[in-house]
Amino acid sequence: MLRQFIYTPSVVQILLLLNGIAFMFLFSAPMAIIETFALWPLGLTDQIVFNNIAPRFQLWQLISYAFLHGGLFHLLFNLFALWIFGSRIEQAWGSKAFVIYYFVCVIGAALVQLLVSGQAMNSGEIYPTLGASGGVFGLLLAFALTFPNEKLMLLIPPIIIKAKWFVLIYAAVELYAGVTGTLAGIAHFAHLGGMLFGFLLLWYWDKHPLRR
């Protein structure tokens, strides 16, 4: 395992370490860090209070939210996917294209989530968004398009499936969950936003290959 990590591409290594460090810092002052660096809806005022804090949206939250996680399982799930899929993408594309793609997905997921959370705020629901899932879902899409026939072994259910079908099914499940409100507390539309912006960037690169 250690040897495999050593040969992990450099950008993926840095992202893994930064997410781990941010998770440890989160325990030192959880509410202060969430207030400052989690993604909050637009239009919050000092009169709107969440867990005894009055958070406000800040521009840097479009990126900083992706380095915070709500629990150990949340962190490990995202980092495992980032390691497995991100390593293959960075090796295939190179570090520069990988960095651009990953953060476009992160910011795109945040923008979609701002739209959704703004509508939820009108109904009185205030909550922060945090986690690397938007970038990870963008990487899932990139993996499926780059290695469409790569076979993946799922744990639940324990079956082998090609990457293209896995991502298509996963996206359909996320869309269904987001529309119906299934599995509340998960930013389903942020996940889809990461995939959407990832697809748009890949489409742009396909039309303008010299700018990739």
- Give the model's pLDDT for residue 211: 64
pLDDT band at 5 (very low <50, low <70, confident <90, very high): very low
CATH class of 2-211: mainly alpha
Question: Any idea where the domains of the chain sit in the sequence?
Answer: 2-211
CB 25 within 8 A of CB 96: no
Least confident of 17-31, 52-66, 76-90, 166-180: 166-180
- Give the model's pLDDT for residue 210: 67
Q: What is residue 173's three-state secondary structure?
A: helix
117: which residues sit within 8 A by CB, 6+ positions away?
Answer: 41, 127, 129
* Angle subtended by helix axes 30-37 and 10-26, to nearest 10: 130
* Residue 12 burial class via C-beta count within 10 angstroms: exposed 0-12, middle 13-18, buried 19 and up: buried
DSSP symbol at 132: S
Tens digits of per-residue pLDDT, 115-133?
Answer: 887 665 655 667 889 999 9
- Give the model's pLDDT for residue 101: 97
Tens digits of per-residue pLDDT, 7-65?
Answer: 577 999 999 999 999 999 988 888 889 989 999 988 777 666 666 777 889 999 999 99
CB 123 within 8 A of CB 151: no
pLDDT at position 178 over 80: no
- Give the model's pLDDT for residue 144: 93
DSSP symbol at 56: -
Do you know the residue count of the chain? 212
pLDDT at position 3 over 60: no
**Helix spans in the chain (H):** 2-6, 10-26, 30-37, 61-64, 72-93, 95-122, 133-146, 163-180, 188-207
